[in-house]
Amino acid sequence: MRFFLLAFVLLFIAISAHANRQRWTHKGQTFYGQLGESNVVPGDVCDPDVLSLSGYYNIQGTRDANYFYWFFESRDSPKDDPLIIWLTGGPGCSSQLALMVENGPCTPTEDGLSTTVNPYSWNSNANIMWIDQPAGVGYSYGDLPDYVSDEEGVSEDLYWFLQAFFQEHPEYSENAFFVFGESYGGHYVPATSYRIWQGNNNKEGSHINLSGVGIGNGMTTPTIQYEYYPQMANNNTYGVKAVSDEQYQKMVDRLPTCLNLAEKCQKSTEFCSSAYTYCNMAETTPYYNSGLNPYDVRKECGDNPLCYDFSSTETFLNLDSTRQALGVNNDEVKTWESCNNAVNAMFIDDWMKDFNSPYLSSLLDDGIPVLAYSGDADFICNWMGNKAWTLDLDWSGHDEFNAAGDHPWLSYGMARTAKDFTFLQVYEAGHMVPLDQPQAALEMLNTFTSGKGF
């Protein structure tokens, strides 16, 4: 009898422990995802006035990936304000980098030993979390076979992470939910938003209140955007001639081959690696050879790998006190790094894929607002190419959007908007708009999430 009772108790404990696990099948493999216990982050680490949580989402199956997130409640009204998830691109770069140097509640001091409050943080009027993904990026970890290498894998993992997060934190489940990202987020954001939209329509999990999508200086539609590299290198917004007229002409002459390979990549992945190699050699390498910052044509690149000095962020995120406060798994994550080149390399067949239609077009046709914004000093995901794909996008409001024309947006830039679609050209900003124009970026965010027009 005692043995029976003990077995029953053990079974009950096992069932309870797995009650909040998410289960899904992807490419013939079964995965189980579970959100670990949330870690309450002390206020003196970053934002002293709000609740801050961090933790890991573990994915078990044929792999053992663990995604790290850092969440902050709104400084205004957490109960009513929207919830945002932020996805930094790369691919392979940590979203905690954006938190620290762009749009988060704090920035590191020069020595990296503490932080100061950012008055233009995106949690001023929103709950927001920054997630390091895929596995192997930032504080996230997993063995090499755990690393996903395409948007299907990215969006699937993030969809089930959100299911687990809202299950564990139902207090945010009714809030308007927005997906934002930057750079290679031009791939991540459409794919993840579309997956959420599909999940809602198919009633796969709990309904997620998807209310809008934002892409900053994104690589969204390579078949269109690569066409604008020659112009941005030689005849850009700031009159910077990064390449000679002769080099410019060579870039133009090589475009047909590049675009042909890119179009073939959309139909068959076997062409994607060739498209990536040829197009970047022909259209971006001439600019890189100039020594200018590919993220800001107004600046020299210098000696730092990413053309910016992020040493204070690296110092702060590798402090024992910071890692302990965030609950970082020190056994698995020896050192926080801004970007993981191994992850980056694994996306070579994903890079030249387009993520405009049916991803964004389906959302817009269903009344979900989309914002594409671009700092106009950026070369690598420049505003010319981004504006071009927004004009080309095939959706029900295409003609109205194209006929709308551009108009000044306050003193910050130019806007084009129709129905639920907006494109912003942001003045005096490079690849990272919140870094260069923090006040404009916060105004943009609040305008978009509140449903006000530009």
The backbone torsions φ and ψ at residue 80, rounded to the nearest 5 degrees and listed phi first, read -105, -25
Judged on CB neighbours under 10 Å (0-12, 13-18, 19+), 25 is: exposed
Determine which one of 74, 124, 431, 436 is catalytic: 431
**CA-to-CA distance for 217 and 97, rounded, in angstroms?**
16
Residue pair 104/24 in contact by the 8 Å Cβ criterion: no
Mean pLDDT to the nearest integer, 237-252:
96
Tell me what pLDDT residue 3 has. 40
pTM of the model as a whole: 0.94
Could you say which of 47, 150, 296, 378 is catalytic?
Answer: 378
- pLDDT above 60: residue 8: no
How far apart are alpha carbons 137 and 148 in whole angstroms?
11
Residue-level pLDDT at 198: 97
- Whether 378 is a known active-site residue: answer yes
- For residue 160, pLDDT over 50 is answered with yes
> What does the pLDDT look like over 38-71, one tens digit per residue?
899 999 999 999 999 999 998 876 567 899 999 9
pLDDT of residue 331: 92
Active site residue 431: yes
| 392 confidence band (pLDDT: 50, 70, 90) | very high
The span from the CA of 372 to the CA of 414, in Å, is 12
Q: Which of 10-14, 290-294, 350-354, 403-407 has the lowest mean pLDDT?
A: 10-14
Residue 4 has pLDDT above 60, yes or no: no
User: According to the model, what pLDDT value does residue 33 have?
Assistant: 81
**Domain range 22-225+307-449, its CATH number among 3.40.1390.10, 3.40.50.1820, 1.10.10.10, 3.40.50.720:** 3.40.50.1820
Nearest Cα neighbor of 191 from 148, 223, 228, 226 is 148
Task: Flag whether pLDDT at 424 surpasses 90.
Answer: yes
Q: Is the pLDDT of residue 272 over 80?
A: yes
Q: Which of 74, 95, 183, 312 is catalytic?
A: 183
Tokens of 72: 């902050």
- Sign of the Cα pseudo-torsion (273, 275, 277, 280, in order): negative
Q: What is the mean pLDDT of residues 166-193?
A: 97
In the predicted model, what is the mean pLDDT of residues 250-254?
98
Look at residue 177 and give its three-state secondary structure: strand
pLDDT at 32 over 90: no
Is 77 marked active-site? Answer: no
Q: How many CB atoms lie within 10 A of CB 152?
A: 14
Lowest mean pLDDT among 140-149, 206-215, 324-333, 379-388: 140-149
At 12 the pLDDT is: 36
Provide the pLDDT confidence category of residue 18 given band limits of 50, 70 and 90. very low
Domain segments of the chain: what residues?
A: 22-225+307-449
User: In this predicted structure, what is the pLDDT of residue 11?
Assistant: 37
When pLDDT is cut at 50, 70 and 90, the band that residue 297 belongs to is very high
86-117: burial string, b at 16+ Cβ within 10 Å, e else: bbbbbbbbbbbbbbbbbbbbbbbeeebeebee
Q: How far apart are CA 51 and CA 73, in angstroms?
A: 6
CA dist., res. 125 & res. 115, Å (int) = 21
Residue with the larger pLDDT of the pair 21 and 431: 431
Torsion angle in degrees (nearest 10) through CA of 310, 304, 353, 280? 170
Look at residue 63 in the predicted model and tell me its pLDDT: 67
